[in-house]
């Protein structure tokens, strides 16, 4: 699975979210490639899952991959809950 | 990944890169004050401050990453000499135009040279931001010395 975290420039928040996701995946033993990206380069970018901020919602309207929208990009608890819910759901499908 | 490389948070946040002010008039002023600390260290060029302001104008108030806290930065090619970070505590809070997460009391500004060397510091910042008690203490600090004491206590 490929996960891309997205913020405005791909240098700050998206990296913080990426590191948090790496830790969670490591802990639960799930294998995925996680990359950080800026919002400007998501069109045409191949990913199974994007993780970004609710404030970016409009810019994801044409995206067909799954997207997790976070209210707080730095809330580790929110990232964990939404990511694990997604992965569980995905596993059942 | 190279998370262990690069400076730790406390290499970046020190007496010269932290400021506590009582009142801030607007977000532009806040970004300027935070940016000038980086400029004085010689870590960024003057154009970097303009670039950080421009990013907020372009991308909007999403820089307020969690209620009360903003993370402002531009790109390495906007004039960053070395990995750097500054912290401005604005006691009364300032609006960034983010209805859900204003007012902002803590403004972290940083400069990255690539997508790797600031990872260690960012990771420590992420942990700090998830510690409510520490964030509360930072917000209510009234001097640089107090901020430094909180960082010593909360960042490892």
Q: Which domains does chain B have, with CATH numbers?
A: 9-154 (3.40.930.10)
Number of compact structural domains in chain A: 1
- CB nearest B126 (choices: A7, A8, A16): A16
The residues, ordered by sequence, that sit 6+ positions from A73 with a Cβ below 8 Å of its Cβ are A7, A13, A16, A17, A52, A53, B65, B66
- pLDDT surpassing 50 at residue A39: yes
By Cβ distance, the residue of A20, A53, A77 closest to B126 is: A20
CATH (domain of A44): 3.40.50.2300
CB contact under 8 A, A72 and B110: no
B40-44, B113-117, B124-128: least confident range: B113-117
pLDDT attached to residue B59: 82
| CA atoms of B93 and B102, how far apart (whole Å) | 8
Q: Which residue has the higher pLDDT, A69 or B59?
A: A69
Residue with tokens 């400076």: B7
Query: In terms of C-beta density within 10 A (0-12 exposed, 13-18 middle, 19 or more buried), how is residue B22 classed?
Result: exposed
Q: Which of A7, A19, A72 sits opposite B119 (nearest CB)?
A: A19
- A9 at B interface, C-beta within 8 A: yes
Q: ∠ CA B56-B57-B58 to the nearest 5 degrees?
A: 90
* Beta carbons of B1 and A16 less than 8 Å apart: no
Catalytic residues of B: 73
Test A8 with B74 for CB contact under 8 angstroms: no
Per-residue pLDDT tens over the stretch B68-120:
999 999 999 999 999 999 999 999 999 999 989 999 999 999 999 998 999 99
Is residue A85 within 8 Å of A49, Cβ to Cβ?
Answer: no
Asked if residues B112 and B76 have their Cβ atoms less than 8 Å apart, the reply is yes
Q: What is the mean pLDDT of residues A5-30?
A: 96
- State the maximum Cα–Cα separation within chain A, in Å, rounded to a whole number: 34
CA angle A87, A91, B3 (to 5 degrees): 35
More confident residue, A42 or B156: A42
Locate tokens 């909180």: which residue? B150
Q: Counting one residue from A and one from B, how many pairs have CB atoms under 8 Å apart?
A: 61
Q: Is the minimum CB–CB distance between A77 and chain B shorter than 8 Å?
A: yes
CB neighbours (10 Å) of residue B123? 21
As a whole number, mean pLDDT of residues B120-149 equals 97
pLDDT band at residue B4 using 50, 70 and 90 as cut-offs: low
CB contact under 8 A, B60 and A39: no
What is the C-alpha to C-alpha distance for residues B95 and B102, in angstroms, rounded to an integer? 5
Cis peptide before B103 (omega within 30 of 0): yes
Predicted confidence band of residue B124 (pLDDT cuts 50, 70, 90): very high
Neighbour count for residue B76 (Cβ, 10 Å): 19
> How high is the pLDDT of residue B3?
46
Domain that residue A39 falls in: 2-92
Q: Which two tokens stand for residue B99?
A: 């209805």
CB atoms within 10 A of CB A5: 29
Kindly write down the DSSP assignment for every residue of A4-70, as one continuous string: EEEESSSSSHHHHHHHHHHHHHHHHT---EEEEEEGGG-TT---SEEEEEGGGGGGGTT--SEEEEE
């Amino acid at each position: 699975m490929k996960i891309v975290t997205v913020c405005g420039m791909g240098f700050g928040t998206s990296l913080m979210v990426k590191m948090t996701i790496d830790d969670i995946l490591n802990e639960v033993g799930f294998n995925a490639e996680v990359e950080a990206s800026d919002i400007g380069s998501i069109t045409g970018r191949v990913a199974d899952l994007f993780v970004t901020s609710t404030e970016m919602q409009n810019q994801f309207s044409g995206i067909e991959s799954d997207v997790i929208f976070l209210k707080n990009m730095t809330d580790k608890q929110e990232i964990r809950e939404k990511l694990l819910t997604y992965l569980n759901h995905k596993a059942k499908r | 990944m190279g998370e262990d490389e690069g400076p730790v948070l406390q290499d970046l946040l020190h007496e010269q890169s932290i400021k506590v002010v009582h009142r801030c008039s607007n977000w532009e002023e806040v970004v300027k004050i935070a940016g000038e600390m980086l400029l004085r260290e010689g870590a960024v060029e003057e154009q970097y401050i303009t670039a950080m302001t421009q990013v907020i104008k372009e991308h909007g108030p999403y820089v307020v990453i969690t209620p009360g806290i903003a993370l402002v930065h531009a790109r390495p090619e906007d004039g960053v000499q070395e990995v750097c970070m500054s912290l401005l505590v604005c006691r009364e809070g300032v609006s960034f135009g983010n209805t859900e997460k204003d007012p902002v009391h803590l403004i972290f500004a940083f400069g990255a040279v690539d997508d790797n060397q600031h990872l260690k510091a960012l990771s420590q910042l992420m942990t700090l931001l998830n510690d409510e008690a520490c964030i509360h203490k930072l917000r209510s600090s009234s001097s640089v010395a107090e901020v430094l004491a909180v960082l010593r206590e909360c960042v490892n």
